[in-house]
Amino acid sequence: MQKANRLLYLLAFVKLILPFFLQNPVYEPHRDELLYLAEGNHLAFGYMEVPPLLSVFAWLTHLFGDGMFWIKIWPSLFGAFNFLLAGKITVHFGGKSYAIILLFLSFIFSVFLRVHFLFQPNFLEVFFYTVIAYGLVRYVQTSGNKWLYVAGIGAGLGMLSKYSVAFYLFALFIALLLTPQRKVFRNRHLYYALGISIILFLPNFIWQYTHHFPVIFHMNELRQQQLQYVPPSSFLKDQLLMFFPCCMVWLAGLFFLLTARQGRPFLFLAWAYIGVIAILLWFHGKNYYALGLYPVLLAIG
């Protein structure tokens, strides 16, 4: 395991610096990045379309001089952390060097290479999806209550990153009820962890309430102008295309969870995946809304 961990940290460092060698310096920030950077000039507990966590990193970017390095370091850093968490899941499932290298290639030859270089809420959303999954996986493996708090903190910070994390939390709730892991609901530490997540998210909820929930207006406008034109067939096809060189890895992870005896304790992760995909199909979600689901499936695959 020590050898696998050394390789994992080395590849995480490569994951951190690689995007800086792939983008030509002639390119300026993406237009959406400019929006989120502007929010760093007006720190608040909420904004019309997104929660406030990304604006903290925008503020730090301004503090450090607004250079391209500081704009890009945050998604690159969280991308490296995301790979580390997924790699830890792989190691805890018994994966060694080959599995870690396969996971690394899955992060590099997929949509994550782009997500982890754009200053947009997606890099935070995907990371906290993985934190929640990691906490629950480790709780099932060890019965340690501290992992419920990891999942709870991940849920609270995730909701401060992007509201679509709520889809995952709802799907996990249903998935846990449908599997033997429903016994977690008898653990009082789950509710303490839930309380922490609510406290973390509460300032943004209060902000939305006092401003008459502008996010609802934003989502209605988004649905009318964009989402209604996303066909379900295109959404499903893109789940493969976004990971085309490595889609067999996450598909293997999903198949393992659904069919293997060793995967039975973690079946709730598969049902949560199916649940979120179903919700996004119902609401005509964009393809990348589901990205947070894939690190844990890649890790297990």
- Tens of pLDDT, residue by residue over 175-192, are 999 999 999 999 999 999
Supply the pLDDT for residue 26: 84
Which residue type is seen at 18? Answer: L
pLDDT digits (tens, 9 = 90+) for 243-259: 999 999 999 999 999 99
Supply the pLDDT for residue 221: 85
Tokens of 84: 């580390």
Residue (of 300, 255, 298) closest to 112 by Cα position: 298
Task: Detail the DSSP E strand segments found in 162-265.
Answer: none
Residue (of 259, 253, 265) closest to 300 by Cα position: 253
Measured distance CA(221)–CA(212) in Å, rounded? 16
| 132: confidence class by pLDDT, cuts 50, 70, 90 | very high
DSSP 285: -
Tokens of 178: 């449908």
Supply the pLDDT for residue 230: 80
Measured distance CA(153)–CA(156) in Å, rounded? 5
Mean pLDDT to the nearest integer, 270-289: 93
Residue 226 CA to its chain's centroid (Å): 23
| 163: confidence class by pLDDT, cuts 50, 70, 90 | very high
Report in angstroms the alpha-carbon separations of 80 from 18, 37, 64, 86: 10, 21, 21, 10
CB 204 within 8 A of CB 43: no
More confident residue, 100 or 23: 100
66: left (phi over 0), alpha (psi -120 to 50) or beta: left
DSSP 64: T
DSSP 94: T
| 49: confidence class by pLDDT, cuts 50, 70, 90 | confident
| 285: confidence class by pLDDT, cuts 50, 70, 90 | confident
Query: What does pLDDT average to over the chain?
Result: 94
Supply the pLDDT for residue 2: 80
Supply the pLDDT for residue 161: 96
Mean pLDDT to the nearest integer, 89-102: 95
| 36: confidence class by pLDDT, cuts 50, 70, 90 | very high
